[in-house]
Chain A
């Protein structure tokens, strides 16, 4: 989490690395197992749904209702691209913070947040659309695994957005000078991780038939 000033007095560390940065990497390592378990569950149940709607195939229900393949690749690809660009934007924001360029920091970080908000918005729209099209959380295994996996990812994105927004406000109030840029670096690492998880989820869920 962002710290106004976590340590009033700098503390020597054995490795010379900042403890908070080491901590976020340890946490990210742990989160790899979290998402790996969710992705494994998705893959184990892939193709095992007893009823539709299905991700990539059309389906006619026993009552004669017809369903198109439910995934919308163009929309999600756009969201994916934006999330990727947001990683670029946040790295530029960090560079700005590290050299004390407040305008660069606020501009690039603002762009990052915008991309993230769009991504979450895309997902919310996607979920709403799917439910409308007949894919509920309990409809079939695809629905359960899809919503759980992408839902938890989306939750992580949202938490990241709140974190980045908090830092953006700190930056606006002039409270993010270069010697406090580690706060942004740590949030950025979390943000990149969330992006990297989507880099795996996108092909696994949307592109693999």
Chain B
């Protein structure tokens, strides 16, 4: 398969500088995740913990979603490559999310507890 011709229609892949920036961003986001966890767990500093604590799940989900998107868009080249690849990846994620949230709703919120 002539890869150069196949990718000729897609935008060129980013350069080293972008890759390094993404790597540092991922590291920073991970540090924020662990930081949020620590603040929520230890309850200190008190002011920050009062904000972060109740929202810890949402904060973690948001941070991990951003990391997910960065790796997908830049390292997996979805941003530069054909939109077909993005569709093939995103559609299953949507179905997966629907199933996950439906199961959580059924088991956590609608209280179907079976002994």
Contact = CB atoms under 8 A, between A and B. Distances in A.
A–B direct contact (CB < 8 Å) = yes
Interface of A: 6-7, 10-11, 13, 15-22, 25-26, 28-30, 32-33, 35-37, 39-40, 43-44, 56, 73, 77, 80-81, 84-85, 87-88, 90-92, 95, 98, 178-179, 181-182, 185, 189, 192-193, 195-196, 199-200, 202-204, 206-209
11 contacts: A10-B1, A16-B82, A26-B88, A29-B91, A32-B89, A40-B104, A88-B19, A178-B4, A185-B3, A203-B64, A208-B60
Contacts of B15: 95
Ranked 4 nearest A-B pairs via Cβ: A36-B96, A29-B92, A88-B23, A203-B60
Interface in B1-27: 1-6, 9, 13, 15-16, 19-20, 22-23, 26-27
Contacts, number: 146
Contacts of A84: 23, 26-27, 30, 67
A16 B10 CA distance: 10
Contacts of A21: 85
- The size class of the interface chain B forms with chain A is 35 or more
Interface string B90-112: 01110111011001100110000
B76 A200 contact: no
Contact of B1 (A11, A28, A95, A207): A11
Nearest to B8: A16
Given A10-B1, A40-B104, 5 more contacts: A25-B88, A77-B30, A81-B30, A207-B33, A207-B34
Given A36-B100, A207-B34, A189 B4 contact: no
A199 B92 contact: no
